[in-house]
Amino acid sequence: MGFPGTWMTESGSVVYRVVPKCACSTIGQIMFYADHGTFFDGDIHDATGGMHKWAMETSQPLIEKVVKARKTYTFTCVRNPYTRILSSFFDKICGIQRNGRRYRGNLVPTLVQKYGIEVGGPDGKEDFDQIASFRRFLLFARDTIRFKKPMEPDIHWSAMSGHISTFIVNGGRYDQIFFTEKFNEGMQKVIDKMAPKHAIDLKTIPRFNESEGHGPARAHPVEDYFDDLSRHLVWEIYKKDFQLFKYDFDNPGNKMPTAEVDLAEVHAKLGE
């Protein structure tokens, strides 16, 4: 299976396991800048040069060699499951993607028909009941993850622990897992370890948000979207994410982690 979703700087200074909806655009751009002194012109997910990605065949043997040697600093980044699934809904379901179309073609029409979801009209800009629609989307997300119906789960709402575990199971080890909510603190540790060719000042680096402007703005506080049933579904989908990455399940309004990630626990539980 190898190391899907793994990126490495061209210089081989650092290895990153991408977790969708967890600052991956900004992290990728910082890795690109570290080697080249400029940001990639466009969405870093579209870059086919200037860094190594498992999705590019020529990069695979290089990434595999570095990961299995376990001498290069390796990291990933996680995010509160409540805000991550909300972000997926507004970006991927309600939003128009950068190609000018809806995400995954017939996905949204299927959701409208089978789950009664509203998405704010053809351009996502009309008013609609965000809370009711999100809760129906959550039911759909659970169905894809639990039953693989009406489709396979999508990487943007499948559990972070699933993404992170493939890297461990196939022979990788993490030196750091940090929080999107404490981005500068965590990313600075990575920069210190990678010794970039070009100096990086996290206070001045822009946040590259691939989803910004794609969909409607969230109209309510996070906790308003999650009633008892919604929280039950979230626990069913993301139980491991809450436990391993130390987020507060009991209070959807608290986006901050409650403790640091225990790397030994992550490797033990996700390497089984």
pLDDT digits (tens, 9 = 90+) for 185-205: 999 999 999 999 999 999 998
Q: Is the pTM of this model over 0.75?
A: yes
SS3 193: helix
Residue 210, pLDDT score: 62
Instruction: Please tell me the predicted confidence (pLDDT) of residue 213.
Output: 61
- Cis check for the bond before 150: say yes or no (omega within 30 of 0): yes
Render pLDDT for 85-126 as a digit per residue (tens, 0 to 9).
999 999 999 988 878 888 888 899 999 999 999 998 887 778
Please, which residues bridge with residue 98 across strands? none
pLDDT(212) > 80: no
CA 161 to centroid of chain Cα atoms: 11
pLDDT in tens, 154-185: 999 999 999 999 999 999 999 999 999 999 99
**Number of other residues whose CB lies within 10 A of the CB of residue 15:** 27
The pLDDT mean for the chain works out to: 94
Q: What is the mean pLDDT of residues 31-56?
A: 96
4-to-131, 152, 166 alpha-carbon distances in Å: 34, 17, 8
Please report the pLDDT score of residue 211 as a whole number. Answer: 60
Task: Give the C-alpha separation, 263 to 266, whole Å.
Answer: 5
147 close to 233: Cβ distance less than 8 angstroms:
no
